[in-house]
Chains A and B, each alone.
Chain A
Amino acid sequence: MLHYRSVQLARALVTRLFFGVLSLLFISFVTFMADEIAPGDAATVLSGEKASLETVERLRRQMGLDRPWPIRYVEFVGHSARGDFGKSLYGIKEDVGVILARNLPMTLFIATCAISIASLIGITLGTFAGVYQNKLPDRFILVVSTLGVTLPNFVLAPLLVFFLANKQGLFDLFYQTWEVNRKDPDFYYLFLPIVVLSARPTALITRLTRASMVDTLQQEFIRTAIAKGVPRFRLYTVHALRNAILPVVTAIGTTFGFLLTGSFVVETFFRLPGLGSTTIDAIKKGDMPVVQACVMLTGALFIFLNLVVDFLLPILDPRIRESQV
């Protein structure tokens, strides 16, 4: 009965949603506790090095930091949920929300570009390798993707920069115009960062698609389709890939999550104003509110993407739609 099944599906998805919110609370707790455990608090930083103990104590009382931590934790969660992460401890003491809003677009943009490129190339190459299993193209793709998975970003980045930007003069290195020209980002500067960022996901998706294709091509419905005389191209794309793509979709979702949380290296290397570089700068300065907000935001994005995958899979695969309890 369709109705019964859809109720079951809805229940499963609501459970996922509940666990998503729970994970978010867990992350908020960990980030809050990190600040609690860390030596010194906002009051000590704000009152400066030369402040007397009384001054610090007075400021602490003013900021409400002398209250027990459970109360402050609830307050912290409430404020964060409304997007109020407090103010930065350094510089012009900017609103953390403003800092995030300024830096998030860059991270989102390069991560989205990277995952799109990685999916496109990865699925194509993976399908190709799977079809030509153990033949020359497959071997070649396998070796290159193994390299891609193991080669660190910060080794790949200087290599590309050295050969493409310095030697050939093909690309300008560092992105400078984002601040001035936010409306119309200059893709030219972002080419290398996106290539570096997409290298590992491309390799991962290629390997996964290949494995999944190899698995699928051995199944009986493929043999039936061949016997039926389905044209090769249609066989590989419509029959095989349609079935092989499901684990790949899951992987794309989680990889996208890791790109959003893990663009630290690329952003630092190419000096892009994104979430990753903001986080690293904040850690070096000891700017706890910014660190907390960045971690919570990236954590939230990560969880959100996993949820999207959970919701997407039943749409793509009728078997999951029906089997989910």
Chain B
Amino acid sequence: MKKRDWFLIGGAIYLVFIVAFAAFGPAVRQVQLYPLAKIVDPAITQFDVVREAVSKKPFQPPGTGEAFLGTDELSRDVVARLAQGARVSLLVGLVVQGIALVVGVLMGVLGVFGPKWLRQPIMRFTDGMFAFPDILLAILIVAVVGLGILPVIAALAVTSWPSIARLVSTQVATLKDREYVVAAKAAGAPTGYLVIKHILPQLSGLLLAYSMIELAGTILAESTLSFLGIGVQEPDPSWGNMINTARINMNSHPVMLIWPCLFLSATIFALNFVGDGLRAYFDPKS
């Protein structure tokens, strides 16, 4: 086994863990912490546990009672918030990449197979999107739409499709001259059938690998926006805004920085490892 494979396997195991953590973590913590939170605030509902205090004192050290990673500046449970943050990050990342994949594949295919008058404008538009710095566009969109999770998704979706479109169009342009495609075309296959049956299946592996790496970029961008305070807003947790609040209290409670930083970096590393590993399998060039 090559070293790259170990990275791939390690990354994949971590990703399974983080997905499970995001999927079940918040619910499990809700059940576990509800009795505690109820002592602090009797009116609390179970779904508010992530956002509300679970103890009477902030910055409980790790290992106190139920809060085994301690509590934050508003006495909220760190584990619950990390899990909810994972959920936010993965959800935003997956939705954005889903949109980017659909739009990118559509644009990439249209740029090669579309009607003649449409091809050039699409390619130029895609290039133009590259010329515009991502973060600026995202910031403009946030400035227009407002703050919160939906604007972040919108902003990141708008900026992340061009790279997929470029990948698809270059790949499709080379694939369409392959002999089996030409043969199918000669046999009378319509263009739509060609693309869906013969070309896109060839691309799917590479696209999967590529969108893993893009997903890492999207998660990073989401946390960046949240860190800057123009993404996911308190009291909703996200790794980005957890790092931001932690660095405000950095001098007195540096421990708070560790977990969100660790989760964010590990997730980005894992996605890159898995993406690179998959690309090595699917990309004929490497």
Residues on A facing B (Cβ under 8 Å): 23, 26-27, 30-31, 34-35, 37-38, 150-155, 157-159, 161-162, 166, 257-258, 261-262, 264-265, 268-269, 279-280, 283-284, 286, 288, 291, 295, 298-299, 302-303, 306
Contacts and interface: CB of A to CB of B under 8 A. Distances in A.
Interface in B221-268: 223-224, 227-230, 240, 243-244, 246-247, 250-251, 254, 257, 261, 264-265, 268
User: Which 10 A-B residue pairings sit nearest by Cβ, starting from the closest?
Assistant: A261-B133, A38-B144, A155-B261, A34-B140, A154-B227, A34-B144, A291-B143, A283-B143, A23-B131, A158-B257
Contact of A283 (B133, B139, B224): B139
A265 B224 contact: yes
A280 B230 CA distance: 8
Contacts of B250: 158, 161-162, 166
10 contacts: A152-B224, A152-B264, A158-B247, A162-B257, A257-B133, A261-B136, A264-B224, A265-B228, A268-B227, A280-B228
A26 B140 CA distance: 14
A291 B254 contact: no
A30 B143 contact: no
A26 B128 contact: yes
B137 interface: yes
A295 B140 CA distance: 8
Nearest to A268: B228
A264 B254 contact: no
A23 B139 CA distance: 18
Given A37-B144, A38-B144, A154-B224, A262 B135 contact: yes
A241 to B, nearest CB: 25
B132 A30 contact: yes
Contact of B264 (A26, A155, A288, A295): A155
A283 B230 contact: yes
A288 B239 CA distance: 28
Given A35-B144, A264-B224, A265-B224, 5 more contacts: A23-B132, A150-B269, A151-B265, A268-B228, A280-B230
Contacts of B123: none
Interface of A is mostly: helix
B80 interface: no
B228 A299 contact: no
Contacts of B254: 162, 166
Nearest to A286: B143
A257 B134 CA distance: 12
A288 B142 CA distance: 11
A19 to B, nearest CB: 8
B133 A302 contact: yes
Nearest to B140: A34
Nearest to A279: B139
Contact of B223 (A152, A264, A286, A298): A152
Given A161-B250, A166-B254, A299 B229 contact: no
| B-side interface size class | 35 or more
B149 interface: no
Contacts of B128: 23, 26
A172 to B, nearest CB: 13
B75 interface: no
A264 B265 contact: no
B66 to A, nearest CB: 27
Contacts of A154: 223-224, 227, 240, 243-244, 247
B272 interface: yes
B140 A31 contact: yes
B220 interface: yes
B135 A261 contact: yes
B132 A258 contact: no
Interface in B174-219: 216
A88 to B, nearest CB: 14
B265 A155 contact: yes
Contacts of A152: 220, 223-224, 264-265, 268
B166 to A, nearest CB: 15
B133 A258 contact: yes
Give the interface centre of A34, A152, A258, A299 by most chain B CB atoms within 10 Å: A152
Contacts of A302: 131, 133
A151 B140 CA distance: 25
B265 A291 contact: no
Given A34-B144, A280-B228, A284-B229, A155 B243 contact: yes
Nearest to A38: B144
Nearest to B221: A152
Nearest to B129: A26
A299 B220 contact: no
Contact of A30 (B140, B223, B230): B140
A162 B250 CA distance: 8
A73 B100 CA distance: 30
A269 B137 contact: no
A311 B153 CA distance: 37
B54 to A, nearest CB: 25
B144 to A, nearest CB: 4
A255 to B, nearest CB: 12
B57 to A, nearest CB: 24
B272 A27 contact: no
Given A23-B128, A158-B247, A269-B247, A288 B133 contact: no
